[in-house]
Amino acid sequence: MSAITLKDLDISYGETQITDGVSLEIAEGESFALVGESGSGKTTVLRAIAGLAPEWTGTIEVFGKPRSHGIDKAVVRSCQMVFQDPYGSIHPRKTIDATLSEPLAIHGIGDRGNRVEAMLEAVGLDRRFRFRYPHQLSGGQRQRVAIARALMLEPKILLLDEPTSALDVSIQAEILNLLKRLRREQNLTYLMVTHNLPVVSFMCDRLAVMRHGRIVETATVDMLKTGAFKDAYSRELFAASGGPAPVLAT
């Protein structure tokens, strides 16, 4: 079954068109990457799926059901987004408990204390972090909280917008290993935006290369590992990366 289907997706901000005819099909349980240079429209695609880019035409389907424009509660329950900046995505004046409890309160879900503690444990934070504030946490710990918040509603899809690019290299590996474990344990589908080809090689099954708002090539990770791209721009990205030999341990 397809988790995400995009057909001829054109996204605009005012009179500026960002994407042009984006079509993708991502299978349930798959980890898929969007790669390309800054400004190619990668994050805008995630925002449209999440309901944060309201001006679009075409089709967005989540588990076979077309989504409406704007915030769609049914989509929110099944599809959540983890943002790039762990310093800006968490409210600085709310405790971690309040941050993780908020989506449960919005959707009328009870047993919040036990759910919060269980999710903290799932992302590698013990219960003493529950009543701390974001300024008392490191960048890596904040990103763990952001991942926990995204998982509070037990979604089956995570949209990952450069989830490690704002972190130190040593912490990046920890977060990527966490995401890989969570995907396996919770049978999650990932759509990840990144410019880092070694991360794609480590995390993903397939990838799409975007340029100027269009998808120029879709490839498997095996093709990425050997550089066997058909499109010239894809080959340029591969060459610029120095080759994506993975440097992370499972």
Instruction: Evaluate whether residue 250 is within a structural domain.
Output: no
Q: Domain for residue 167, yes or no?
A: yes
pLDDT band, residue 250 (cuts 50/70/90): very low
**Does the pTM exceed 0.75?**
yes
**Residue 246 belongs to some domain of the structure:** no
Rounded CA-CA distance 126/213 in Å is 42
Q: What pLDDT shows up at residue 243?
A: 60
Q: Give me the domain span that covers residue 60.
A: 2-241
Whether residue 219 is contained in a domain is answered as: yes
Residue 248 lies in a domain: no
Give the mean model confidence (pLDDT) for residues 104-118: 95
User: 159 Cβ partners below 8 Å, 6+ apart?
Assistant: 46, 49, 50, 79, 80, 81, 82, 191
Domain harbouring 151, CATH code: 3.40.50.300
Smallest CA-to-CA distance from 242 within 207, 212, 201, 204 is with 201
Banded model confidence at residue 245, pLDDT cuts 50, 70, 90: very low
**Domains identified in the chain, total number:** 1
**96 located within any domain:** yes
